Amino acid sequence: MATNLLHVPKPQGLLRPLVVPERLLLGPGPSNVPPRILAAGGQQLLGHMHPEVLQVMDEIKAGIQYAFQTQNRLTLAISGTGHCAMEAALLNLLEHGDTALVAVNGIWGQRAADIARRLGAIVRELWKPPGEYFTPQDIEEGLVRHKPLVLFITHGESSTGVLQPLEGLGELCHRHGCLLLVDAVASLGGAPIFMDQQEIDVLYSGSQKVLNAPPGSAPISFSERAREKILRRKTQPLSFYLDMGWLANYWGCDGEPRRYHHTAPINSFFSLREGLAMLVELGLESSWERHRANCAQLCQGLRDLGLELFVKEEKARLPTITTVRVPKGYDWKEITAFLMENHAIEIAGGLGPSVGKVLRIGLMGCNSTSSNVDRVLHGLRDALRRCHRSRL
């Protein structure tokens, strides 16, 4: 053995044990993972083509169809995080020169526009200030003006805490020959969404929000209209890893014998399956109601602390992530650090267009409980008392 060739020595940090502290994750995600889901992810591996794994994938598909309320056959989980699903949606739908209209009222629209530009699409943007949502009139004006093939819009804008009303948007898009692509990473399971009735053409989410599984897999579904757009492509999608033709086959969506495509993150699938199973057991209506009630309790408590909610209209507040203005005279970083150090609670500052403006508190899946609301309000009260307040 050529021992003398080992010019890079053993790194000392890896000779020490891994230490992971327990924290209450009330930021915009990931949220805490219940023991049952951790146990599923900690199962021994199987091969990516073993019948038991293919069955788990079938169960995931059925779970996503339930969570999305869709009967689309092209329904599966991407082998990556929510961002990867955003990319998968855009790169399968769009070809070089296609026009995409992106509704930007926070970071996710910005990101979708960035990705679509990289793909060579002609990108048009509709803008709203952070904290606001789009009306059907806003959307219709954009559709008429830009004649896009795809409209991107965010259901749960986790950077601003806005819940986008989706009623009528699907119909509107279809009347104008456009597909409706919706990001529900932060909202799925926490707020009602009905893919089929709302005529959404592509919908995706993440595993690490309401589903309470670790990040690493992302549910996605395509309507027949979207599937046909993909089938009509003149060019191959720019990615092999995310090529929906290959993925549809591996996930058993095309009626053909399943072929090896890539080695899937098998134990992420085990966790996702369990997260979906817990949502199915609880039921969508109960899950929506749970998030609504705990969010309402949180909002009331924040107001009682004298804080100002960032999203004015109650119906436009995302039930999973609440944004509150950084109280005057405080440094948001000091508040989040105080909660982490003194209460082992994560809450977050803003992101993208909301940086420096807001604090974000997430109550997702198993973390959406009345006692967690009490805990974070108690921590915030303590922070407001003990953090430095500049003289105004």
- The residues in 206-235 that bind a copy of itself, with binding defined as CB under 8 A, are 206, 208, 214-216
User: Which H or E run includes 156?
Assistant: strand 156-157
Q: What is the dihedral of CA 184, 188, 208, 341, to 10 degrees?
A: 100
Strands 358-362 and 218-222: unpaired
Distance CA 332, CA 345 (A): 15
Site string for a copy of itself, 36-75 (x = CB under 8 A): --xxxxxxxxxxx-x-x--xx-xx--xx-xx-xxxx----
Site string for a copy of itself, 85-124 (x = CB under 8 A): --x-----------------------x--xx-xxx-----
Q: Is 360 annotated as a binding residue?
A: yes
Cβ within 8 Å of residue 313, ≥6 positions away:
none
Q: Is the separation of the CB atoms in 148 and 124 below 8 Å? A: yes
284 makes contact with a copy of itself (CB under 8 A) = yes
Residue 100, phi then psi, degrees to nearest 5: -115, 135
Structure tokens of 99? 């026009």
Q: Which is nearer to a copy of itself, 38 or 122 (CB)?
A: 38
Q: Which is nearer to a copy of itself, 12 or 390 (CB)?
A: 12
Least distance CB 110 / a copy of itself (angstroms): 11
Binding segment toward a copy of itself, per CB under 8 A, in 134-142, 223-231, 285-293, 377-385: 285-293
Binding segment toward a copy of itself, per CB under 8 A, in 34-42, 250-258, 319-327, 371-379: 34-42
Site string for a copy of itself, 288-317 (x = CB under 8 A): xx----------------------------
Site string for a copy of itself, 260-279 (x = CB under 8 A): x-xxxxxxx-x--xx-xx--
The residues in 235-254 that bind a copy of itself, with binding defined as CB under 8 A, are 236-241
Q: What is the total count of residues that contact a copy of itself (CB under 8 A)?
A: 101
Least distance CB 52 / a copy of itself (angstroms): 7
Q: Is the separation of the CB atoms in 93 and 229 below 8 Å? A: yes
Binding segment toward a copy of itself, per CB under 8 A, in 13-21, 126-134, 165-173, 321-329: 13-21
Residue 74, phi then psi, degrees to nearest 5: -85, 80
Cβ within 8 Å of residue 61, ≥6 positions away:
75, 76, 251, 252, 253
Which stretches within 189-265 are classed as H helix? 224-231, 244-250
The residues in 156-195 that bind a copy of itself, with binding defined as CB under 8 A, are 192, 194
Structure tokens of 372? 């967690």
Strands annotated E in 260-300: none
Half-sphere exposure of 58 (CA within 13 A, CB side): 11
Strands 156-157 and 162-163: antiparallel
Least distance CB 88 / a copy of itself (angstroms): 9
368 makes contact with a copy of itself (CB under 8 A) = no
Annotated binding residues: 360
Annotated binding residues for substrate: 360
